[in-house]
Every structure is written in structure tokens, then in C-alpha cells.
Chains A and B, each alone.
Chain A
Amino acid sequence: MNGDVPAPESPYAVEGHGLVKNFGSFRAVDGIDIAVPAGAIYGILGPNGAGKTTLLRTLLGIVDPDEGHRALLGADQPLRMARQVGYLPEERGLYPSMKAAEAIAFMGALRGLPLAEGRRRGRALMERHGLGGAIDKPIRQLSKGMAQTVQLFGTIVHQPRLIVLDEPFSGLDAINQEKLEALIRDQARRGVTILFSTHVIAHAERLCERIAIVAGGRIRFEGTPGEARDRLRPQVRLRTRMIDGAWRRALPADTVADDGAWHFALPEEGIEPLLRALIDDKAGIESLSIERPGLHDAFVAIAGADAARAMDARAEEEAA
């Protein structure tokens, strides 16, 4: 869909330093530093009210920060780069009486794409994604998912260098979520920088090269998903025939019993002392696994259990 996108001069497509944004007495963004590498898929993870949307709006220039400064594709006045940016807000909005292809062309025209070219590309996009029958339908006649897809096409129709998506998966069914993931990967392959916010960890885990975990208006972690997981030691899961014995003294202090098995983080000195005790005591090892923690576990450890619960609750709510 895109041609080859020339690499931006700065190594970062989006930068923010010391960003603060208050709404009255509420501090939505509290001194955030962020740098999104050009060409990366970058995810901002956090529960509702963490400050993700305000951070994105601040970076895009929709609202001005109270403190700090930002740069979008190297420009400190984000609107100057509007032609090279695509943005899908969390609260989706389209003119209900506008026809689908016309809405895509209009969104492109806002960002400098000639209307006729926008119409041509809009029709092509819709046909390619199996929505050819809805091209001339007014938005009000489309399903919520279709309208959301039309808006997404409007976000990319002008072939931007940077795409910012606020909760893009919200409101989409599993099939459309998969299509959106494919579309994001496709854009990234063409060199487009993708910055998106989500409260669904699985999407971030599958897509992102780098993530920022946001809670309470602050970035609690910034790095690759692997680095986030590496913050936790591998988890050991042990099941024995003997429930009691001297070997239990060799279990680490953080061990938790659950469903007839023992769970604990892999000790720094390794698992050998415990294995020796199990063998000496003839405890009978039924199963033993050492697993690398998932991003969800890392999120819980970094953002806190409450934030994780809030995120899980919203994800379940949407899935329902």
C-alpha cells in the first residue's frame, strides 16, 4: 500500500521530555520521557486512566503540555508534520451521512492528499479488504466494526510516516483484530513507525518491538518486551509424590503451594540444591518445569497487581 518511506533524519519518530499535563487538579501525565525509534512498532500499555490517551494527544499536538517539550518527526510543532502522520483516536468519529469512500478521502484530504486520489485509494483499500459493497454506503448504515475499519483506512490513506493508534483493537472482533495486526505489521515492514496504546497485553506481546508501561501518569518501564520479562526470574513449577519431608527446607522462601504443586522464582544459586534434597529424601519428582515469565507477569510486577486487574477486567469486558 505504501511506497518506500524515506527514513527520518532523527533516529526517533516521536520524542517527549519531561511532559506534564494537568486537568485542573488532576495530573494525567506526570513527567514522562519517551522516545519512539523510527520504524518501530511501539506499544504503550496501561490500564484505564493511566494517562495513555493524554500522552498520545500531547505528543500529537492536540493538547499542549503544561511542562516539557515534544518532537514529532523532528518538529517541535506537531501540526507542521500533520501530512506525514495518521491518527486513529480512541473515541471513533465519522460524519454519519458521509459515504464510506468519501470519508476516507476526506480524512486524507485533511492531511494534504488530493480528494480525487483519496477517493481512488479509499475505494482500492475497501475492495482489497473485502468491503467493496460498502464503498458508497453512508457511515450510518455500516456496522460498528466496519465504520471502525473505514476510519482506520482514513488514517493510513495518505501513506503517513508515523501512525498513531489509540486503543485500535477496542471494539473489534477476533477476526478483525487479526486483520488489524496484519495491517500494522505490513505498515511496519514498509518502514512506517507505529505507536499504539492498548490495554490488551497479548497484542503488545505479539506486535511490539518496544513497549512503555504506563500507570498513574508515569512510565514505569520502557524497553523491549523481552527486557520486561527479564525483570522477573524464571518461574519453577514442581510436583512431588511425597508432600512432606526434610527436602521442603530446601524450597525458596517465596514458594507458593497451588493445586498440589509448588511455585517459586528460580533462585539465583540455581535449582541444584533443591534437586539434591529431593533425591536424597526420595521425595519422588512427578514433574518439574522452568518457564520464562510472560509479559503479563512482567506487567503485574512493574505496574502493580491493581493495574493489572483493571486491565484484565476491561479486556474481559470487551471480549464479552
Chain B
Amino acid sequence: MRELWRAAFVIARRDFSAVVLSRTFILFLLGPLLPILIGFAFGGLGERISSTDLRPIVGLAMPAADIAAIERAHARLTERMGERALPRLRRVPASPTPRAQLARPDSAVVAILSGSVSRPVLTGKPEDLDRLQGDLSLLASAAKAEKTLRLVKVERQEVATSLGAQAQARLLIGRIAQVVMFFLTILLAGMILSNLVEEKTNKIIEILAAAVPIDAIFLGKLMAMLAMSFVGIAFWGATAFGIFAALGGHATALPTPAVGWPLFLILCVLYFAMAYTLLGSLFLGIGAQAATVREVQTLNMPITMGQMLIFFFASYAVDHIGSPAEIAACLFPWSSPFTMIARAAQDGAVWPHLLALVWQAAFVALIIRVGVLLFRRHVMQSGGRWWKTLFRPATG
């Protein structure tokens, strides 16, 4: 076993340096920054859009006294309900018919409130009326009651946490972690498909196979690609944080995941590594059977679709903790890391994670072994039926 790991490290070191020291690695690092920059640009634009006041404007075409009463009521209620709770109001010249007023090209209001405070009439398109009717009824009622309206004071009783809100926030953290992990996996694991093609086309596989167990070749390649992925993630993460800080961004206080931030972050790293190696070992096994790069490219699309299915499965299970679907998603090796990270956000128990990590690692070993045996059988044309040698030591 020690020899297997030693040989795997030799292969991993070679592959890692070959990738990281190549010119194309710079492109690899810079490529994903483009969406991040676009994200920030659109994020800023979105912020500007959301800060623009988009509340509907209602025209007031009433007697002056009624308008004043409505405006006073608006001010009183806004004080209590907040700036954006009620539609904006604007005085419009009284015209014979509100319909004619709304039909004017320079009309800047979506509806017109006419009549009186006691018998208000709201004119506008049906969907606007549906949206505004309640608010204006409230305004008119407050205006009518005016001085007799006594706003009841609600006593505040503060608590540190609200379980309902916390559960919502944790679910959101779980979902975000799942999505980020999925995108990183889909972005990075696909490269492993073509990982053995170089060795096969350059005839190096013969030298490797004569010197070390093929299990070590597979393991080393996975380790190298995982290390390279962590380099990429660290670079992208640091760059994104740098841009965020440079733009003067400030983080809103995030709710704490159920297992706590430190453990959650450690689990993020571990589950990403598991998701990556589970998919990677499968890709390596499939890619190793391919004779040419073209064959590998053909395999890419169905494999991506398979990844999407797994993600949907894990995504469905995220807010059904303890349900048969969620347990199945935890057990199914390829969806397990995604489901478990969402669970870590919502459930504080640590032992399921230890079990899940062992379970996933066992599957990584099993998939590598099957991939190796199929490689020996179909590419090296060696060995008997693969299942007969499944548990034979790697060196023999």
C-alpha cells in the first residue's frame, strides 16, 4: 500500500508540474475570471436598478381638501410601514374623465384616484387596479378616520434567533454551497476524461505499467488534477474577493450553518474533493478506454447530462431532510457530496458526515479499481474477467 501511494505521488507530481508550469494554465486560470467580472458588472447594474424607485405613481384628482387628507394619511402610514410599502402619489389636474387623463401622452401615472375620500374611484388597467386597490382603500380609510385613527403601538419583544428564519437562511446556504460545488465540479472534472490519452499516444503507458501498478497511475492522475483544481479555486476565490474588496463591497452578516462556519468550510473542501474524485475516477476509467481525443470529446456531452441529472437529484433532496429521497441522494455516491453539504448547512449532527466521507472514499477506491481492471483488460489486453481480480492487491 505504501508503494502504491509512493508511486501515485511520483505520477501526481509529474502531472501537476506539467499542467501548472505550462503556458495554457494561465488561460485556464484567467478563463473563469471573465464570468466573475461579468457577474460583478451585472451585480452593480442590478443594484442600481433595484435602488431606482419603481413604485407605481397614482394620480390624485379630487377636491383639494380630500387630496390633502390622503397625503397626510400617506405620510402617517409611510412612517409606520416604510418608504416602499405604498404607491407614490401625484396631484393631477382634475379633468372631466380620468380615462381621458390616462390616455394623454404626457401622463406619468398608472392610475387615477378620483371621487372623494368617502367614495373614492380608482381608474386604471385591471392588473394595476388589482395591485393598487388594497393600498388605496387603506389610504382612504386612514384619510377618512384621520384624527380619530389611533395607531396601536406594537410592543417589541426581541429574540436572538428565530428558528423559522434561521432554517430559511440555512437552506439558502445549503443551496448556494451545492450550486457552487456543482459548477466547480462540472468545470474542472471534465478535463480528467482525456487524461490518459497523452500516455497512450506517446507510448509512455508501457513504461509506467512496467514500473508501477496501474492503480497508482490512476490515483496519481486524480491527485494531480485535484491539486490543480484547488490551485484554480484558490486563485479564482482570491481574485473574486480582491475585486469585491476593491469595489468597496461589504459582506452582510451570513447566518451560521448548522455545523458552524469552520467545520462547514472544511466539509466544503472535503465534499468537493469527494465529488471531484468520484466523478474524476469515473471519467478516468471511461476516458482510459478511449483510443483518441475525438472519442473522448464524443463522450463529453452524455457525461455532462448525467452530471446535471445527479445535481437535480441532490437539489431536490436539499429541503426534504430525512425523506427517502434525501437518504437515497445521501447514499448514491455521485449525489452524496452535494446532498451532504446541504445537510451540513441545515443539520448540526457531525457523525453522518464522517460516515458519508468514508462511504464516498470507499466508492472512489472501488471505481478506480474497476477502471484499472477494465483498462488492463481492454487496453493492455491483460488479466481475466475483471470482477475476478477486483480485490487482488494492486502489485499482483
Interface residues of A (CB under 8 A from B): 23, 57, 60-64, 77, 79-80, 82, 85, 87, 89, 91-98, 106-107, 109-112, 115, 154
Q: Is the CB of A93 within 8 A of B6?
A: no
Task: Check B396 against A77 for contact (C-beta < 8 Å).
Answer: yes
Closest chain-A Cβ to B36's Cβ sits at a distance in Å of: 30
Task: Enumerate B152-184 residues with CB–CB distance to A below 8 Å.
Answer: none
User: How many residue-residue contacts, CB under 8 A, span A and B?
Assistant: 72
In the complex the two chains form, is A63's CB within 8 Å of B207's CB?
Answer: no
Flag if B210 contacts A95 (CB, 8 Å): no
Q: Is B211 an interface residue (CB 8 A)?
A: yes
Nearest CB in chain B: distance from A121 CB, A = 16
B: residues with CB less than 8 A from A are 6-7, 10, 13-14, 18, 22, 198-199, 202-213, 380-384, 393, 395-396
Given A63-B382, A79-B212, A79-B396: A89 in contact with B207 (beta carbons within 8 A): yes
CB pair A111 B211 closer than 8 Å: yes
For A111, the chain B residues whose CB sits under 8 A away are 211
Chain A residues within 8 Å of B382, by CB: 62-64
Knowing that A63-B381, A77-B395 are A-B contacts, what are 13 other residue pairs whose CB atoms are under 8 Å apart, sorted by A's residue number? Answer: A62-B380, A63-B382, A63-B383, A77-B396, A79-B212, A85-B210, A89-B210, A93-B199, A93-B202, A93-B203, A93-B207, A94-B204, A95-B202
Q: Which B residue's beta carbon lies closest to that of A53?
A: B206
Quick check: A110 and B207 within 8 Å, CB to CB?
A: yes
* CB atoms of B205 and A93 under 8 A apart: yes
Q: Which A residues touch B202, using CB under 8 A?
A: 93-96
CB <8 Å contact, A87 and B396: no
Chain B hits for A82, CB < 8 A: 210-212
Residues of A contacting B7 with CB < 8 Å? 110
In the assembled complex, the Cα of A106 lies from the Cα of B13 at a distance in Å of: 10
* 24 examples of A-B residue contacts, CB within 8 angstroms: A23-B381, A60-B210, A63-B382, A63-B383, A64-B382, A64-B384, A77-B393, A79-B213, A80-B395, A89-B210, A92-B203, A93-B205, A93-B206, A94-B202, A94-B204, A95-B14, A97-B18, A106-B10, A107-B207, A107-B211, A110-B7, A110-B211, A110-B212, A111-B211
Q: How far is the CB of B386 from chain A (nearest CB, A)?
A: 12
With a CB–CB cut-off of 8 A, which chain B residues contact A61? 210
Q: Is the CB of A80 within 8 A of B396?
A: yes
Q: How far is the CA of A106 from the CA of B220 in the complex (A)?
A: 14
Known: A92-B203, A96-B202. A62 touches B209 (CB 8 A): yes
Enumerate chain A residues within 8 angstroms of B205, measured Cβ to Cβ: 93
Q: A80-B396, A110-B10 are in contact. Are A97 and B380 (CB under 8 A)?
A: no
Separation of A77 and B213 alpha carbons in the complex (Å): 11
Q: Do A89 and B203 have beta carbons less than 8 Å apart?
A: yes
Complex contact A87–B395 (CB within 8 A): no
Cα separation A61 to B203 with both chains bound (whole Å): 17
Q: Given the complex, which residues of B lie within 8 Å of A106, measured CB to CB?
A: 10, 14
Find chain B residues with CB under 8 A from A93 CB: 199, 202-207
Give the residues in chain B near A60, CB-CB below 8 Å. 210
Interface centre among B22, B205, B206, B213 (most CB of A within 10 A): B206
Inside 8 A of B209's CB, which chain A residues have their CB? Answer: 62
Closest chain-B Cβ to A95's Cβ sits at a distance in Å of: 6
Minimum Cβ distance to chain A for residue B219 (Å) = 14
B22: A residues at CB distance < 8 A = 97
List the B side residues contacting A64 at CB < 8 Å. 382-384
Task: List B contacts of A87 (CB < 8 A).
Answer: 207, 210-211
Q: How far is A24 from B292 in the complex, measured between Cα atoms in Å?
A: 22
Nearest 8 A/B pairs, CB to CB = A93-B203, A77-B396, A63-B382, A110-B211, A93-B204, A89-B206, A91-B203, A79-B395
Closest partner residue, chain B, to A106 (CB atom): B14
Instruction: Indicate which residue in A77, A98, A110 contacts B208 across the interface (CB closer than 8 Å).
Output: A110
Report the Cα distance A23→B6, complex, angstroms.
32
Closest to A60 in B: B210
Chain B residues, CB < 8 A from A63: 380-383
Query: A109 near B207 (CB under 8 angstroms)?
Result: no
**Given known contacts A89-B207, A110-B10, is B18 in contact with A95 (CB within 8 Å)?**
yes
Residue from B18, B211, B380, B395 whose CB has the most chain A CB atoms within 10 Å: B211
CB-defined contacts of A107 to chain B, threshold 8 Å: 207, 211
Q: Point out the residues of chain A lying under 8 angstroms from B208, CB to CB.
A: 110
Q: How far is the CA of A115 from the CA of B380 in the complex (A)?
A: 28
- The residues of B that contact A154 with a CB separation of less than 8 Å are 207
Residue among A60, A79, A80, A85 with the most chain B CB within 10 A?
A79
A-side contacts of B393, CB under 8 Å: 77
CB distance from B362 to the nearest CB of A (A): 24
In the complex, A89→B265 CA distance in Å? 47
> Residue of B at shortest CB range from A96?
B202
Are A91 and B206 within 8 A (Cβ)?
yes
Q: How far apart are the CA atoms of A24 and B118 in the complex, in Å? A: 97
CA distance A45 to B261 in the complex (A): 68
Q: Within 8 Å CB of A109, what residues of B?
A: 10
Asked, given contacts A64-B383, A77-B395, A80-B395, whether A95 binds B207 with beta carbons under 8 Å apart, the answer is no
- Say yes or no: A62 contacts B210, CB within 8 Å: yes
Chain A residues, CB < 8 A from B206:
62, 89, 91, 93
Shortest distance between the CB of A69 and any CB in chain B (Å): 12
CB <8 Å contact, A112 and B210: no
Q: What's the nearest-Cβ distance from chain A to residue B342, in Å? A: 41
| Chain B residues, Cβ within 8 Å of A57 | 210
- The residues of B that contact A77 with a CB separation of less than 8 Å are 393, 395-396
Could you tell me the distance between the alpha carbons of A85 and B210 in the complex, rounded to whole angstroms?
9
Cα distance A60–B380 when bound, in Å?
13
A95 contact set on B, CB distance < 8 A: 14, 18, 198, 202, 204
B203 CB contacts on chain A under 8 angstroms: 89, 91-93
Contacts of A98 in B (CB 8 A): 18
Question: What chain B residues lie within 8 Å of A89 (beta carbons)?
Answer: 203, 206-207, 210
Say how far A27's CB is from chain B's closest CB, in angstroms: 13
Residue of chain B at shortest CB distance from A113: B10
CB distance from A117 to the nearest CB of B (A): 13
